[in-house]
Amino acid sequence: MADRYVEDIGYLYDLADMILITDNKGNIEYYKIFRSLGTRICEDPVGMNILDLHQHLKKKTSTVMKVIEKGEPIINELQSLNIFKERTVQVLTSTFPIRDGEEVVGVIEIDRYHDPDVRRLPARKNFSASHDAYFTINDVVTNHPVMKDLLEKTRRAARTSSPIMIWGETGTGKELIAQSVHNHSFRRTNAFVSQNCSAIPLTLGESIFFGTTSGSFTGAQEKIGLFEMAHEGTLLLDEINSMDIQLQSKLLRATESRSIRKIGGTDSIRVDVRLVTTLNEDPHLAIENGKLRRDLFYRLAVVLLKLPPLRERREDIPLLIDYFIESYNHHIGGNIKGVDPSVKELFMEYRWPGNIRELKHVIESAFNFADGGLITLNDLPSYLLDGEREERIDPYDLNKQLEAFERNCILRAIEGSTSLKETAAKLNISRQSLRYKLDRFGLSIES
């Protein structure tokens, strides 16, 4: 569980001094101190219960145990913790439940030193936000006509400041296109700031976007938000369909007024930001399913770009194979010349649900096992050999082509769906009709 969350939680406070993750019994699964104030009482508390680590705390006074019991976050509660042998530390604690559906399966806790005599370190950067844009249109590997047309549209749109929305399945290269927009624009010498919207909790969303003033809440520091970071540059909001709807309304107001107001502040601050957003699903479906505000879509999709999945641009697979082999030869120090014909055949027939990202990681995996100059079937991940392949269909067999089209439509609808009802709604057919088609094609919602 810890590996799933730890990369996304540090941004919760730029000045986090400690982070821990527990399961729903209070057993510690991850524990990190960013700045030590002495010799720790326990060097490695992973595996311990939180009440054993802090024996002066009880079930009713431990923020971890209270959040596990009630399932509600606790923000900025002052606690005294016996962490170091030399001293008891006053910390401001914010604790959040981790849920699997309705069930609380664990807790994330972020602590900040609050002792007045503890000199603070300089504010760490918001490390859920990236500030680098490396890629340009020239880095896109393709010979596909649809992709070439998309790149030309990207080049033209980059010259303006119009908001751009990019959508496509996971792993199709949306961030590469977003970085290309920035690097082909007049803003390329200014900041490029990227934020994963799925990593923004509602309780902290406004402060992350707009910043805070000193004293706006207990322990609050003067801090700029993402809009000010990206002033005169580009702000990429990745997976905007995962952002809370209430937060989307605040984002809409900021984009329409081109100004923001910090939490606790009274003055409006003008911002000049080029917004680029990405979605991993059709934005119209996101609107219908309540994941994206319709008015925000109109505001952010002035330019709308769709990236095709890899299975719809198969002629690019050999180019991408060569590109990734050359790249890993350079970075890993290998001497791979190419892939065995049987591997190429498999790659051309495999569905690639993870798209280009999956192909890249498959090539990297093979580099760890390849002995000769060619990647063979034995070097590939086992799941790939058992994976679903596209059926070769006579291009002039209309019935077969229609069947394949219908099957692919159902597969796309299944992706991201959790129920028969949701999938049927996407396809605009009845649940009874969908059950028949699932049986006919040997599919299930779980697949």
**pLDDT tens digits for the chain (447 residues)?**
444 444 445 444 444 678 899 999 999 998 888 766 777 778 788 889 999 888 888 898 899 999 999 999 887 788 888 887 767 778 878 899 998 888 999 999 988 776 555 544 334 444 344 556 678 898 899 999 999 999 999 999 999 999 999 999 999 999 999 999 998 999 988 889 999 888 887 778 888 888 888 755 555 567 888 999 899 999 999 999 999 998 999 999 999 999 988 888 888 899 999 999 999 999 999 999 999 999 999 999 999 999 999 999 999 999 999 999 998 888 777 889 999 999 999 999 899 999 999 999 999 999 999 988 999 999 999 888 876 565 555 556 677 778 778 888 888 888 777 788 888 888 989 888 888 888 887 788 764
**Are 166 and 103 part of one and the same domain?**
no
Q: What tokens were used for 131?
A: 């500030």
Instruction: Give domain status of residue 446, yes or no.
Output: no
**Are 224 and 340 part of one and the same domain?**
no
Which residues are CB-neighbours of 313 under 8 A, at least 6 positions away?
142, 144, 146, 147
Q: What tokens were used for 242?
A: 């995962």
**Are 292 and 358 part of one and the same domain?**
no
Nearest to residue 410, comparing CAs of 369, 445, 364?
A: 445
Q: What's the pLDDT at 267?
A: 86
Contact between 243 and 234 (Cβ < 8 Å): no
Measured CA to CA in angstroms, residue 437 lies from 303, 401, 430, 432 at distances of 36, 16, 11, 9
List the CATH number of the domain containing 343: 1.10.8.60
Q: What's the pLDDT at 1?
A: 43
Q: What's the pLDDT at 221?
A: 61
**Are 59 and 195 part of one and the same domain?**
no
What are the start-end ranges of the E strands in 37-158? 74-84, 87-100, 103-113, 129-130
Q: What's the pLDDT at 202?
A: 74
The C-alpha R_g of the chain, in whole angstroms, comes to 25
**Are 195 and 290 part of one and the same domain?**
yes
Q: What's the pLDDT at 119?
A: 40
Instruction: Give domain status of residue 122, yes or no.
Output: no
Burial of 171 (C-beta count, 10 Å sphere; 0-12/13-18/19+): buried
CB atoms < 10 A from the CB of 359, how many? Answer: 21
Q: What tokens were used for 411?
A: 């597969």
Instruction: Give domain status of residue 119, yes or no.
Output: no
Question: Residue 408: which domain range?
Answer: 398-441
The count of domains in the chain is 4
**Are 134 and 208 part of one and the same domain?**
yes
Instruction: Give domain status of residue 393, yes or no.
Output: no
**Are 301 and 182 part of one and the same domain?**
yes
Q: What's the pLDDT at 395?
A: 58
List the CATH number of the domain containing 248: 3.40.50.300
Q: What's the pLDDT at 125?
A: 41
Instruction: Give domain status of residue 287, yes or no.
Output: yes
**Are 226 and 143 part of one and the same domain?**
yes
Q: What's the pLDDT at 302?
A: 97
* Residue that is last in its domain, among 306, 341, 358: 306
List the CATH number of the domain containing 56: 3.30.450.20
Contact between 108 and 7 (Cβ < 8 Å): no
Helix (H, G, I), strand (E, B) or coil at 234: strand
Q: Which residues on adjacent β-strands are paired with residue 269?
A: 260
Contact between 309 and 198 (Cβ < 8 Å): no
* Residue that is last in its domain, among 113, 139, 160: 113
Q: What's the pLDDT at 127?
A: 38
Q: What's the pLDDT at 86?
A: 64
Helices 420-427 and 398-414, packing angle to 10 deg:
130
pTM: 0.61
**Are 185 and 104 part of one and the same domain?**
no
Instruction: Give domain status of residue 427, yes or no.
Output: yes
To 5 degrees, how large is the angle CA 207–CA 208–CA 214? 40
**Are 94 and 181 part of one and the same domain?**
no
Instruction: Give domain status of residue 447, yes or no.
Output: no
Contact between 8 and 196 (Cβ < 8 Å): yes
Cα–Cα distance for residue pair 345/314, rounded to 1 Å: 11
Cα–Cα distance for residue pair 376/27, rounded to 1 Å: 44
Instruction: Give domain status of residue 377, yes or no.
Output: yes
Q: What's the pLDDT at 216?
A: 54
* Residue that is last in its domain, among 306, 341, 357: 306
SS3 content of the chain, % helix, strand, coil (to 5): 40, 20, 40
**Are 142 and 275 part of one and the same domain?**
yes
**Are 258 and 219 part of one and the same domain?**
yes
